[in-house]
Amino acid sequence: MHRAVYEGERRLNVIEAPETAPGPGQVQIDVAFTGICGTDLHILHGDMDQRVSVPAVLGHEMSGTVARLGDGVDGWKLGDPVTVLPVLPCGACRTCAAGHGHVCPRLTFIGIDSAGSMQQRWNVPARALVRLPDTLDLAHGALAEPTAVAVHDVRRSGLADGEHAVVVGGGPVGLLIAVVARRTGAQVLVLEPSPQRRAVADRLGFATADPTGADTEALIHDWTGGAGADVSFEVSGAAAGVATAVEVLAPRGRLVMVAIHATPREVNLHRFFWRELTMLGARLYSPHDMATAVELVAGGQIPADDLITQVEPLERVGEAFAALESGAGVMKVLLDCAAAR
């Protein structure tokens, strides 16, 4: 069996490893596709070395089929198409009791705190499985997890029909947020400096602008009839993106922090005071968010073919990460984990 491992200091390697049987309460998955996300890039860059134990198998955006069942597992059969909800809360703390297990202080995240899906066969707790429709293209199924992120972000924002939402950053998650936000009846503008990514957003029917080449505040003023945006989603992960996400908001506007910022950022707190703005953190997703995401992907409401711009075999994991880092016309990159079987 082949797996891709992060070895520290920006090193990725594909190794052969013995296949192990699933333990009690586990299910073995034949992994079909695994997406590379921003968190995986943060790990590769060493930003999470204090948390990740090397060598580490990364990956949590995935799809596959059930291959073997461990003792005590029922409700599943061989060949069932699945994805994984990688969020494993402790279930016993005050946060979990309040129904917020996705921010449990003792949370285990599969693919960060334990081995992830960048391997051909993967043993996971049965409670992490999420059923996919039999008719769903498994490449599209790998988008369920990032779609769940977008569902949670939009739900967290309280976005309503008729409101104006600005998405700062037009990468895969940014565009997924834009798609989900549009479903609420909101008007959506995507700010993205990359012309290739703006072209994808344009093709999907969104209003777009280059925040580096325009007077953004004047643009938002005109777009909203002078009111400002009701909600902004900061998805860029850049200091300039944070500043823009604050500037575009109307009085009483809501800023949703989506991107992971590896270093602290300056924030215009006077703007927050003067306009009574609200900042909301948005981390991960709930089982309900994942269920909604599967429905959206399976129902064809997620533009999967527009977002998946590159598929590489597992053996080319280094090239796949490099393509995503380059940003040159690349949106979502998938690893084909079944190609070598």
Would the CA dihedral through 93, 111, 55, 125 be positive or negative? positive
Closest alpha carbon to 168 in 250, 114, 231: 231
- Is there a contact between 145 and 296 (Cβ–Cβ < 8 Å)? no
- Cα separation, 157 vs 249, whole angstroms: 13
Q: With b meaning 16 or more CB within 10 Å and e meaning fewer, what string describes 114-146? A: bbbbbbbbbbbbbebbbebeeebbbbbbbbbbb
Rounded to a whole number of angstroms, the distance between the first and last alpha carbons of the chain is 8
DSSP classification of residue 52: P
Closest alpha carbon to 59 in 44, 82, 40: 40
User: Which residues have a catalytic role annotated?
Assistant: 39, 42
